[in-house]
Amino acid sequence: MSSDALTSSEYIKHHLQNLTWGKLDGSWSFAHNAAEAKAMGFMAIHVDTMFWSTVLGLAFLYVFRKVAKNAHSGTPGGLQNFVEMIVEFVDTSVRGSFTAKNDLVAPMALTVFVWIFLMNMMDLIPVDWIPGITEAMGIEHMRIVPSADPNATFGMALSVFFLMLFYSIKNKGIGGFTGELTLQPFESKNVLLQAFFIPVNFLLEFVSLIAKPVSLSLRLFGNMYAGEMIFILIALMFSGGFAIGLFGGVLQLGWAIFHILIVTLQAFIFMTLTIVYMDMAHSEH
């Protein structure tokens, strides 16, 4: 949607509105504005987030599967060389941070890194291109950066969190896991004093435990949301005349080049913390 047809505030709100499907006034429909999306409640679905994350995930699976099937020991082509470089990079990260043995961790780290990287890269597409196309098709709202939606980042973070809990209990038993939450960091040989320390330890360790998925999700969401907002604000400059539009073009190019670093770094941080959390789930404390 062109910024000429809207005020600056309306333009920003329009681009930050997800395509939301939910139950409103007894019937299922798409939300036309933020108020309707809010009224739909917790069970509403951000269709654009689901669509783009699924498409990008399938694209990742297709390309990597194709390269794996056609891989050969001779001189690799450009795509095979690129995929092998990514796999080797992730494998090195896992070997450096994960000290136990679990065949799930490396594939999960690869999936997390590439999938989040692809979702983040959608932020580099000019903000009006795809929404403009979908609006011409009758779709009112379309956000194309899944990682700028906290529902997506919390979903991924909670998946990692539940895996961490599963392997903590599997490897240490319920007693061992409970002991980690109640018998550290404060401990004493005095039984009465240790009984006093148990709730204190539990409070500290529980906060630390819950903080992991929260920080994991909010870090990714915050960075990508901020990047998306900056691109939207720069896009507003193109409706301010030739000189301001030209300046906006220079800013957009500069921010896009810098944003490539942010896109890659956020995917790497999420992957690294996932590996570290899985290592903690396999380690005795």
Question: What is the arithmetic mean of pLDDT over 216-229?
Answer: 97
Question: What is the arithmetic mean of pLDDT over 222-244?
Answer: 93
Q: Provide, rounded to the nearest whole percent, the portion of the chain with pLDDT above 90.
A: 85
pLDDT band at 242; cut points 50, 70, 90: confident
pLDDT band at 131; cut points 50, 70, 90: very high
Question: What is the arithmetic mean of pLDDT over 233-245?
Answer: 90
Residue with tokens 């990742």: 60
Q: Hey, which residues does 21 pair with through a beta bridge?
A: 30, 45
* Extents of the domains making up the chain: 49-127+145-282
Question: What is the arithmetic mean of pLDDT over 184-194?
Answer: 86
pLDDT at 75: 76
CA distance 279 to 265: 21
Contacts of 186 (CB under 8 A, 6+ apart): 197, 200, 201
pTM metric for this prediction: 0.92
Does position 215 have pLDDT exceeding 90, yes or no? Answer: yes
CA distance 48 to 18: 7
Residue with tokens 């038993």: 173
Q: Hey, which residues does 20 pair with through a beta bridge?
A: 46
Instruction: Strand 20-24: give its sheet, edge to edge.
Output: 27-30, 20-24, 45-46
pLDDT at 71: 83
Question: Nearest 5°: phi and psi at 112?
Answer: -60, -45
| Among 84-88, 186-190, 264-268, the least confident range | 186-190
Does position 129 have pLDDT exceeding 90, yes or no? Answer: yes
pLDDT at 5: 67
Nearest to 87 by CA among 70, 64, 104, 71: 64
| Among 65-69, 109-113, 149-153, the least confident range | 65-69
For 261-279, write each residue's pLDDT tens digit. 999 999 999 999 999 999 9
For 90-108, write each residue's pLDDT tens digit. 999 999 999 999 999 999 9
SS (H, E, C) the chain: CCHHHCCHHHHHHHHCCCCEEEEECCEEEECCCHHHHHHCCCCCEEHHHHHHHHHHHHHHHHHHHHHHHHCCCCCCCHHHHHHHHHHHHHHHHHHHHCCCCCCCHHHHHHHHHHHHHHHHHHHHCCCCHHHHHHHHCCCCCCCCCHHHCHHHHHHHHHHHHHHHHHHHHHHHHHHHHHHHHHCCCCCCCCHHHHHHHHHHHHHHHHHHHHHHHHHHHHHHHHHHHHHHHHHHHHHHHHHCCHHHHHHHHHHHHHHHHHHHHHHHHHHHHHHHHHHHHHHHHHCCC
pLDDT band at 67; cut points 50, 70, 90: very high
Amino acid identity of 22? Answer: G
Q: State the average pLDDT for the chain.
A: 93
Does position 2 have pLDDT exceeding 70, yes or no? Answer: no
pLDDT at 45: 96
Residue 215's CB is within 10 A of a number of other CB atoms, namely: 12
Does position 285 have pLDDT exceeding 80, yes or no? Answer: no
The residues assigned a catalytic role are 215, 219, 223
